Structure 1
Amino acid sequence: MKLPDSPQSPKFIQLLQWIYQPLQLMEASAKAHGDCFTLWLTNQQPMVFLSNPQAVQQLFTAPLEQLDARASAQILQPLLGENSLLLLSGETHQRQRKLLTPPFHGERMKAYGDIITNITTEVISNWKLGQPFSVRNSMQEIALRVILQAVFGLSAGERYTKLEKRLCDILDLTASGLRASLSFFPALQVDLGRWSPWGNFLRQREEIDQLLYAEIQDRRDHPDPSRTDILTLMMAARDENGEPMTDVELRDELMTLLVAGHETTASALTWALYWIHKLPSVREKLVAELDNFGEGDLNELTRLPYLTAVCQETLRIYPIAMVTIPRIVKTPLEIGGYEFAPGTMLVGCIYLMHRRPDLYPQPQEFQPERFLEKQYSLYEYLPFGGSNRRCLGMAFALYEMKLVLATVLKNLDLALVDNYPVKPIRRGVTLAPSGGKWLIATAQHQKTKNPVEV
């Protein structure tokens, strides 16, 4: 069985490029080999990148028993744990996904609207007029506080403060390409004490675990059926056999929600604010739509077409996840004219799919209008992955993005700092905007008590 073509560079060089220059590697490979190519990012398994809609559809609709997503996500295991939804496969994955779905249903989600707008208002009130600030830091603070309050129902106190700090610390450990190397090279995962990178990571993780297990135990000791946070709903959930999640399962899913739910949203919000203020026409249309809407219901606000299109285009041009969760072939499988042997890793390449000129004319340009003019299929636009592995928090993330952006734009006039470069960089396993203080508040609007009425 012949694999699709691969770059001529040695495997080790391909891996280094994947860590430090992932976009250039994908673009060069696609230019040389088309929309189906092979990269060697491990010594054992080839990874085949698919960026053709028909091939991605075949991947997403293949029988579940032919593919295994569990082993492919092991890079995330040290942080998230063995029971994370991202690392499960087969029946175990289906059970856990059913248990986790109810908190993210539309009606449940609406209860978090107040939390999102109030936290955003608090954070942006600290921005000083005329002083550049770090958009990333502010968006990360908003997203983390939203997660801690919506997931845990925590808003104050020692445990909240400690969790907030520890989570920021542990995520910073994998933020740069150099630090991300720890995840890709198991040989570097050696505990040489707190001052070694891996030793520091393990100790940070242990402190977070202690806080998570203490919170779970408190909930078991003092159940409160009136609570609406996601942890309460997770603890109340039962599978078809009437079994709840164990403490270890709860810990791993909480960690998944905390990490996946705030890092990714913070990056998406940062990109959105960049594009909105880089392109005056986009900002004008969005502000006009928000002004016309006035002070209405939050859920109606999140249906505004141009606001929705801005969020969709933000997630297209630089998707936070560059590829879908890899699937490992278990029995011979034909996709896109290739027959893949067991052991082959297959990924839908989100970044390259979103850059196809036949789907997205002038793909380098930020054009929200494309989403008002065309409806894209689940195999053409996939910022949250697809099939049974599509991100469970997709609706929550989009809801949060829209409310945060609306709250910011209704309260402040902002402008980019002249000629400050903002570029895509690797942050852990995701794609994020580069840091720096590149946005400045120029004017404050006359505010009502609640900038966006609920």
Structure 2
Amino acid sequence: MQLPNLLKTPSLLQKLQWATDPVAYMENAAQQYPDIFTGNIIGFGDTVVFVNHPQAIEEILTNDRKKFTAVGELNEILQPLLGSYSVLMLDGDRHKRQRQLVTPSFHGERMQAYGQLICNVSEKLFSKFPLNKPFLVRNLTEEVSLQVVSQAIFGLHEEEKIQKLRQLLPLLLDLFKSPLTSSLFFFPFLQQDLGAWSPWGKFLRDREQIDQFLYTEIAERRQKPDPERIDILSLLISSRDEAGQPMTEQELHDQLITLILAGYDTTASAMSWGFYWIHQNPLVLEKLLQELDTLGDFPDPMSIYQLPYLTAICNETLRIYPVTMFSFPRVVQESVELLGHTLEPGTVLLPSIYLTHHREDLYPQSKQFKPERFIERQFSPYEFLPFGGGVRRCIGQALAQFEMKLVFATVLSRYNLALVDQRAEKPQRRGFNLAPSSGVNMVITGRRARQESLANLTTTSVS
């Protein structure tokens, strides 16, 4: 079978680079073959066709379940983490059922209720930090995300349970802390339980603790249903499919794990990147503060969500380093032509979000942070797709964007922050997303008073 633009690098070297430095792997390949290339990587079958041309991505996503099908089995590297019933692991009608059960939790009144929660959490956490003492933004955004997960997803208000979750979530993500440990998911032969001291053995024991916590919470919530609760777990427990059937305990468990990963680690990384980029660009910060000042001292969360420049900043943050580097893999179902190449049934396609977001024909000077791109131009869902696309688009997209905007607005309208180190922040693989390698070192230099006059943009700080 003739595959398009097959990379000449030895297969083993490709696999190692993909596991340790996926950005360099994709960028080097795209220099040779800008629109489509075939690589040998771990995780989705050895041979994968990377696609980053918007026209081709549109054809793939709009022909889902026909010419190109998303197959949950291709995400089998995630199974030890997510379980077999995660919406990411299912195909066809089973996937459709789970998605229909989960999606209502992220719409309408539910989102408005989460809005004030996010603002309160952000203000409370940042108010505790002393002035002029360096801290890692990534650690603080993790704590914000933890609180949102605890209250919005689980509805936890008991301090004991929140503390337990605070202990468990980092355990769940320990394997993602470095490219080396992340590689355990990409090389199945390394998944050996050699005792609690071994990386995989530790992961299995940590996962057991997390499973026990989740199943206990699910059982307690089923025994004491409360129709007034609006947290996502309560909504999932009460939801019914078209046949009137609820989710099983394992289905609930696997969806919770999926939502935790989608709403905790990836959102924390995206927010830390946002704080970095905003403070790397003084004019961006100035324009954002001017926009925030128009809302008054106690803005409604939905008013914040609709701010155009804040939206552009979040979009540009997600463009440069999207929460996921690639969309859900698709499998060719019938012989088709894509970008002048004939693809045979069984070929695995991986739409590259990262490479699409760095196409110079779409985003000139793509490495530079320019929110104005999203003011001056409307990009299609096949040119800008930080949460994937088609029927496999990330379910938590709305909550993640809502959280980013509200955290930035709440913090920056109240506090003056500064980067400790002006050196460029580098991306590092953290599981399946790209996080700032140093964690973004910053300080709070003072409190900020809203400017009554938009003609006077000088910020006022009080210690």
Question: What TM-score, normalized to structure 1?
Answer: 0.96
Distance of aligned partners of 1:163 and 1:305 in 2 relative to their CA distance in 1, 3 Å threshold = same
Deviations 1:63-121 (A, max 9, x none): 41541321111111101101011111111000110011111113211111121011111
Name the SS for the 2:413 alignment partner. helix
1:45 and 1:343 in contact (8 A); partners too: no
Query: Which of residues 153, 162, 165 in structure 2 aligns to 1:163?
Result: 165
1:109–1:396 CA contact under 8 A, matched in 2:
yes
Given residue 206 of structure 2, which amino acid in structure 1 is its aligned partner? Q
How far apart in 2 are the matches of 1:300 and 1:262?
A: 24
Q: CA deviation at 1:436?
A: 4.2
Q: Is the 8 A contact 2:21 2:179 kept in 1?
A: no
| 1:366 counterpart = 2:365 | no
SS in 2 for 1:368: coil
For residues 246-299 of structure 1, the C-alpha deviation after alignment (integer angstroms, 9 at most, x for no partner) is 000000000000111111110110000001000000000001100122133210
Aligned to 2:5: 5
User: 1:25 aligned to 2:25?
Assistant: yes
**C-alpha displacement of 1:437:** 5.4
Contact 1:59/1:335, CA 8 A, preserved across alignment: no
C-alpha RMSD of matched pairs (Å) = 1.5
Match of residue 181 from structure 1: 183
Alpha-carbon distance, 1:221 to partner: 0.8
Give the 3-state SS of the residue equivalent to 1:67 in structure 2.
strand
| Cα distance in structure 2, aligned partners of 1:129 and 1:393 | 34
The equivalent of 1:435 in structure 2 is 438
Moved over 4 A (4+): none
- Please give the residue correspondences for 1:327-406 in structure 2 after superposition, counting only pairs within 5 Å: 327-406=330-409
Alignment pair present for 1:321 and 2:303? no
* Gap change, CA 1:339 and 1:106, over 3 Å in 2: farther
- After superposition, what is the alpha-carbon deviation per residue over 1:369-412, rounded to whole angstroms, capped at 9, x for unaligned? 11011111011100010000011111111111100000110111
- What is the DSSP-based 3-state SS (H/G/I as helix, E as strand, rest coil) of the residue aligned with 2:360? coil
Shift of 1:418: 3.4
CA contact (8 A) 2:280 2:422 kept: no
Kindly indicate whether the alpha-carbon contact (under 8 Å) linking 1:290 and 1:410 is maintained by their aligned counterparts in 2. yes
Q: In structure 2, what is the Cα distance between the partners aligned to 1:342 and 1:75?
A: 22
SS of equivalent residue, structure 2 residue 355 = helix
Structure 1: runs of 5+ lacking an equivalent? 448-454
> What's the counterpart of residue 285 of structure 2?
283
Q: How far apart are 1:329 and its partner, in Å?
A: 2.6
What is the aligned partner in structure 1 of residue 303 from structure 2? 300
Counterpart check, 1:59 vs 2:60: yes
CA distance in 2 between partners of 1:89 and 1:202 (Å): 26
Q: Distance in 2 between matches of 1:336 and 1:277?
A: 40
Q: Amino acid of the residue matched to residue 419 of structure 1?
A: Q
Q: What CA distance in whole angstroms lies between the structure 1 residues aligned with 2:299 and 2:69?
A: 46
SS at match of 2:264: helix
AA paired with 1:171?
L
2:447 equivalent to 1:444: yes
Instruction: Tell me the secondary structure at the aligned position of residue 111 of structure 1.
Output: helix
Relative to structure 1, is the Cα distance of residues 293 and 446 closer, same or farther in structure 2, using a 3 angstrom cutoff?
A: closer
Matched to 1:383, the amino acid is P
- Tell me whether 66-75 or 222-231 shows the greater mean CA deviation: 66-75
| Inter-partner Cα distance in structure 1 for 2:201 and 2:5 | 39
Contact 2:272 2:439 in 1 (8 A): no
Query: How many Å separate the matches in 1 of 2:47 and 2:439?
Result: 37
Give how far 1:140 is off: 0.6
Structure 2 stretches of 5 or more lacking a match? 451-463
In the alignment, is residue 424 of structure 1 matched against residue 440 of structure 2? Answer: no
Distance 1:42-1:424 versus aligned 2 partners, 3 A rule: closer
Is the 2:193–2:200 Cα contact (8 Å) retained in structure 1?
Answer: yes
1: distance between equivalents of 2:147 and 2:17?
Answer: 34
User: Does residue 197 in structure 1 map to residue 199 in structure 2?
Assistant: yes
> Distance between the aligned counterparts of 2:166 and 2:19, measured in 1?
27
Distance in 2 (alpha carbons) for counterparts of 1:426 and 1:373: 31
Q: Which 10-residue stretch deviates more, 50-59 or 418-427?
A: 418-427
Q: Distance in 2 between matches of 1:399 and 1:42?
A: 33
Matches within 5 A, 1:76-155: 76-155=78-157
* Percent of pairs with identical residues: 51
Conservation of the 8 A alpha-carbon contact between 1:68 and 1:330: no
SS of 1:173's partner is helix
What amino acid sits opposite 2:55 in the alignment? Q
Tell me which amino acid in the other structure corresponds to 2:54. Answer: P
Query: Structure 1 residues 446 and 286 mapped into 2: Cα distance closer, same or farther (>3 Å)?
Result: closer
36-45 vs 382-391, greater mean Cα deviation = 36-45
Q: Measure, in 2, the Cα distance between the counterparts of 1:93 and 1:41.
A: 26
Q: Is the 8 A contact 2:175 2:203 kept in 1?
A: yes
Measured against aligned partners, the alpha-carbon deviations of 1:169-205 in whole angstroms (never above 9, x if no partner) come to: 2202222011011101101111111111111000100
Aligned partner of 2:194: which letter? L
Range moving further from structure 2, 4-13 or 369-378: 4-13
CA distance in 2, matches of 1:261, 1:191: 29
Picking from 242, 245, 270, the partner of 1:243 is: 245
